[in-house]
């Protein structure tokens, strides 16, 4: 009997009480992929909200009595009066070289049928950019492969450049040619063993385009061997407005 009591006492001492606090709200209104939620007393801007049924959302508009959230995924599953809860984490996406050669959606989820992405790191979508002092100076050009651009108005690595023009004037063609040319330079540097060359990886973001158009662009990149150095983020015209907003 004494041994049993001692064993019970030791197990009671080892037992630890844990308390789980959950912030729960109620959907008051749903329209066009946007939900108005009441009762979320403690929520952060850009925090992930769990609607249940595998549907997530992002808190975008923080008001005194309610929260406006955009719904990611199938907003048809969200109903008025439905309970939701906060997750305590901000919207993050996977980053790293594991994404090279893949086609992902605005949330960094693979949509190319090649299996999951084994990324080791995730970054928040709304990440603070490095300060001007900590940034490396722009001292190396981007070789677009277009002589008129490279000779007259070269683009520097790390520099922002706007390509503007009317429809069907070749804006996308310039971008695709630049991606293909830099993929060629990357391969040549790898084959020659040039350790001083910094490879340039490209991210092509397609927003509001037809799925057939995106598929054609991916096919062109694969034909020229550029996909191993490229990430394609697709938010086609059939995607929700929330995904098209998040893609860039």
How far is the CA of 200 from the CAs of 12, 89, 142, 206, in angstroms? Answer: 59, 31, 8, 19
Q: What is the largest CA-CA distance in the chain?
A: 93
Q: Helices 171-192 and 211-223: crossing angle, nearest 10°?
A: 30
Q: pTM score, two decimals?
A: 0.81
* Dihedral sign, Cα of residue 144, residue 146, residue 147, residue 152: negative
- Tokens, residue 227: 């996909």
* pLDDT for the residue 20: 67
Q: What is the block-wise mean pLDDT of the chain (248 residues), using blocks of 10 residues?
A: 71 66 85 87 87 86 89 82 87 89 89 88 84 85 89 87 87 92 91 85 91 92 93 88 82
* pLDDT for the residue 1: 59
How far is the CA of 15 from the CAs of 8, 11, 33, in angstroms? Answer: 11, 6, 45
Q: Which domains does the chain carry?
A: 24-90 (2.40.30.20), 93-246 (3.40.50.300)
What H or E segment, with its residue span, contains residue 232?
Answer: strand 230-235
* pLDDT for the residue 64: 86
Burial 204-233 (b: 16+ CB within 10 A, else e): bebbebeeeebeebbeebeeeebbebbbbb
**CA–CA separation, 121 and 233 (whole Å):** 18
- Tokens, residue 202: 């490209």
CB 58 within 8 A of CB 45: no
* pLDDT for the residue 2: 65
């Amino acid at each position: 009997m004494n041994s049993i009591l001692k064993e019970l006492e030791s197990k009671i001492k080892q037992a630890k009480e844990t308390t789980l606090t959950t912030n729960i709200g109620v959907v008051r209104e749903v329209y066009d992929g946007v939900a108005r939620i009441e009762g979320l007393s403690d929520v952060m801007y850009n925090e992930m909200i769990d609607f249940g049924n595998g549907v997530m959302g992002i808190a975008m508009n923080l008001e005194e009595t309610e929260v406006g959230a955009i719904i990611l995924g199938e907003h048809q599953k969200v109903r008025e009066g439905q309970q939701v809860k906060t997750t305590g984490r901000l919207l993050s996406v996977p980053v790293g070289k594991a994404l090279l050669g893949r086609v992902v959606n605005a949330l960094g989820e693979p949509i190319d049928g090649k299996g999951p992405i084994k990324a080791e790191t995730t970054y928040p979508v709304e990440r603070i950019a490095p300060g001007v002092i900590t940034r490396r100076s722009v001292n190396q050009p981007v070789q677009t492969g277009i002589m008129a651009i490279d000779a007259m108005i070269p683009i520097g690595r790390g520099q922002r450049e706007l390509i503007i023009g009317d429809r069907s004037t070749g804006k996308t063609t310039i971008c695709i040619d630049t991606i293909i040319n830099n993929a060629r330079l990357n391969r040549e540097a790898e084959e020659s063993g040039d350790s001083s060359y910094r490879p340039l990886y490209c991210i092509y973001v397609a927003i509001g385009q037809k799925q057939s158009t995106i598929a054609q662009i991916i096919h062109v990149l694969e034909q020229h061997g550029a996909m191993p150095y490229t990430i394609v983020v697709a938010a086609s015209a059939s995607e929700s407005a929330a995904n098209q907003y998040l893609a860039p």
